Structure 1
Amino acid sequence: MAEKVLETLRIQLRDGLTEPVIKNLLDDLRAENVLGTEEIEEIVQKTKTRTDQARDLIDYVRKKGRKASEILLQSLKIRDKHFYESLDIDSHLAIQETGATSSHIPITADKPKTTTDEYKMDNNPRGICLIINNENFENPEIKRNGSQKDVDSLKHLFEYLGFLVEIKKDQTASDIKELMIVYSKERLHADCFVCCVLSHGDETGVEGCDQKICPLNDITSPFDGDNCPDLIGKPKVFFIQACKGHEMQSKVLVADGSASSRIQKSGNVSYSIPKDSDFLIATSTVQGYVSIRDPSSGSWFIQSLCKHLEEGSKRGQDILRILTLVNDDVSRKEGLIKTKDNDEIDAKMTPQPLFTLRKLLVFRPPKVAAYK
């Protein structure tokens, strides 16, 4: 029965329910008269962590019995289909209906279910993760202090995810272009190729340490189907930490999930991703705007990406869901930066993923063999 499924999957649900999904589930349960206002207020107390809220939500509903539990699970199926399917809840419900005991139910969160709707990710190593870190430039005044923090975080993350990590530092624009050609011919490609570029940039591309621009297309096109047959049908992932202009994004207020009364107008997008399939290009900011980096802790985008991708991979979350969480996290950050005139202005930004993926992309950490 449904309440038994909630009991069996309690830990996975507690760890996997995100704050936006919890809020949506509570709205649905209120509408269905499963939970009252006082119960919901008790669950979402400001002093409670997300984990506490998820745990209390599950326990409150489970104790109300089968019908309430069924409503919660159906709501979850609508609100977060990928997470619902990663736990294989429909199979759990079917087993309960046939009278199987909970000891016979597999815990699928520890052994995620891979389907044909998901890119293959089971080689060890998974593939290559190339990190290009441009920290020092011809003009020493524009050194990217704090960039090494991003390198360290990315290296830790992708080694954990089973990739061979290779780091190249202070590359000119022509060096970057040549590196892409060299790596597109690499024979160690397995399930996926990842490239992280950390540098300055503008509307036209990424800046080399010689302060010349390498267009984004020169970074991605060597890996398309014509130029890199070994990666046909496999995901090619690019994380770009660089400014794409000189403007600071406007700050608007959002209340109760409604749209702001002040809408920022955006210009035409002047770049595009390759028309071939299976690309993901996640940039740290949108066209025309600066990207923010803290000299003491690293860039907003890369640090948030590493945090959410490591956590999400443990739950079997796909990359687009994770990048949505990164967008929300970075968009909420507050800061101040100094202009050329030494004035302080509000620092705000939002990342932007562009993709031609055809399947779910889930970075599954390889299993560590146990000693006998």
Structure 2
Amino acid sequence: MAAQLLCDVRVKFVEKVTTPVLKQLLDDLNDDRVLNEEEMESVFEENKARADRARCLIDMVRKKGNKSSERMIKRIQERDENLYGELSLSVMASGTTAPAAPAPLSQVSNPDESPVSEVLLLSSAQFRSQKLMEGDRIYKPLDKPGRKRLALIINNVKFDCKGMLRRGADKDEERMETLLKGLGYEVVKHRDLSGEEMDKAMKEFSKRKEHAESDSTFVVIMSHGKRDTILGVHWNKDTPDVFSIDNVYSYLNTQGCPGLCNKPKVILIQACRGGEEGCVWMSDGIQDDSTGIESDDHRAHKEKDFISLLSCTPDTKSYRHVENGTFFVQYLVQEFNTHAHQDHVEELFTRVMRRFEEFPRQMVCKDRTTLSRHFYLFPGH
């Protein structure tokens, strides 16, 4: 747990810690027998820049495990209360807010050893008041009374081809629905659709009147896929039953969905984008065979205020545990549960990406990001 906390705050620690505090921490950790003399010297002698020294120190300690990481967290609190607060370690170390992390993907040898603890979203009342003072730097949330947030989940589990059954996908749907409801969205769900039916569901969702009284939306699509398409349940080599990912943007852009104009639209896609070979876990992959501006009565960006997170990079597979669901959804839900009370969506996505750093078979990626402000979810408000 403590090692994972250091991993979570690594980027901010490197950015914020000062050289005097670094030197104090090295002395403290030597006194605590977390670091020996040679390790202390290597931090400063082998790294010239302050940021490189900070990065070396935090990586060195977190790799030693939880006990060493706990000592470093305690020493950060003793040496620099402001830094401790900025890293939110006072919240994360409380024992009730940060979930136990799933085993790193690089260490999972048995699929049954990949559990994810379920944690309720943290409220962000004080943080919300603080952020609202930033004016046009953030997307303004609407208050609960009168607000009508909608989210869409499409989950293809059973296909005509029995070998394409997406075992564990029920867990993904359950987790995503729980998360979105916790964030204040009414969830519209569809299961096992053809490409044509997905297109219809997407179009109908874009026409919902509630969007005019909302401040944002989420669209979650989970299925098999290829580079730019989602596979429908009737797909086979002779029947190209697909839904184009581009249609998501077409239906929700300013022209297709005026009610969501200038409002954040978060797109989450769990699907393979190709057939590059992976490893022994059940894969969501099928072997692969192979921004404009509109003029109107007033000028408006045709495609704006989108942010998308895809479960893998182009041409590669996405991995799924046959009981616990996809690694993408497991880590995404955990990061939102732990950090959505204080981080904007793009920071949350970056956290998810970092969870895959030591798993070279899959890397999630952001796509078509056109957010012009920070989008905070403010759980509980």
TM-score range, shorter chain: 0.5 to 0.7
CA contact (8 A) 2:254 2:302 kept: no
Question: Structure 1 residues 51, 231: closer, same or farther in 2, change over 3 A?
Answer: farther
CA contact (8 A) 1:18 1:50 kept: no
- Secondary structure of 2:380's match? coil
Deviations along 1:293-325, one digit per CA (max 9) or x if unpaired, are: 1111110111111110121112x2011111111
1:12 is aligned to none
Whether the aligned pair in 2 keeps the contact of 1:30 and 1:36 (CA below 8 Å) is: no
Aligned to 1:198: 222
What is the one-letter code of the residue matched to 1:117?
A: R
Among 144, 167, 171, the alignment partner of 2:189 is 167
Which secondary structure does the structure 1 equivalent of 2:209 belong to?
coil
2:69 counterpart of 1:47: no
Partner amino acid, structure 2, of 1:292? Y
Partner in structure 2 of residue 327 of structure 1: 353
Identity of aligned pairs, percent? 22
Q: What is the distance in 2 between the residues matched to 1:149 and 1:271? A: 35
Find 2:79's aligned residue among 47, 60, 78. Answer: 60
Select the residue among 15, 22, 37 that pairs with 2:26: 37
Structure 1 residues 332 and 121: CA distance shift in structure 2, 3 A: farther
Instruction: Find 1:222's aligned residue among 248, 251, 258.
Output: 251
What stretches of structure 2 of length at least 5 have no aligned partner?
35-60, 89-124, 236-240, 280-289, 293-300
Name the aligned partner's letter for residue 66 of structure 2.
T
Q: TM-score, normalised to structure 2's length?
A: 0.66
Deviation at 1:359, TM superposition (A): 0.6
Cα separation, 2, equivalents of 1:176 and 1:146: 21
1:99-134 CA distance string (max 9 Å, x none): xxxxxxxx9447542232111223435511111010
Q: TM-score, normalised by structure 1?
A: 0.68
Q: Which runs of 5+ in 1 are unaligned?
A: 1-14, 63-68, 84-106, 251-269, 334-346, 368-372
CA separation of 1:209/1:47 partners in 2, compared to 1, >3 Å: closer, same or farther?
Answer: same
In the alignment, is residue 365 of structure 1 matched against residue 356 of structure 2?
no
1:183 corresponds, among 200, 205, 215, to 205
Q: Assess, with a 3 A threshold, how the Cα gap between structure 1 residues 108 and 123 changes in structure 2: closer, same or farther.
A: closer
> Residues 204 and 213 of structure 1 are in contact (CA less than 8 Å); yes or no, is this contact kept in structure 2?
no
- 8 Å CA contact 2:336, 2:348 repeated in 1: yes
**Secondary structure of the equivalent of 1:183?**
helix
- Whether contact under 8 Å (2:131, 2:138) holds in the other structure is no
1:317 aligns with 2:317: no
Larger RCO: 1 or 2 (CA < 8 Å, sep 6+):
2
| Structure-1 separation of matches of 2:22 and 2:215 | 47
Superposition deviation, residue 60 in structure 1: 2.4
Q: State how 1:203-282 maps to structure 2 within 5 Å.
A: 203-211=227-235, 212-248=241-277, 276-282=303-309
CA change 1:140–1:329 in 2 (3 A) is same
Match of 1:120 among 128, 132, 140: 140
The 3 A distance-change label for structure 1 pair 182 and 146 is same
Relative to structure 1, is the Cα distance of residues 49 and 271 closer, same or farther in structure 2, using a 3 angstrom cutoff? farther
Amino acid at match of 1:349: Q
Shift of 1:136: 0.7
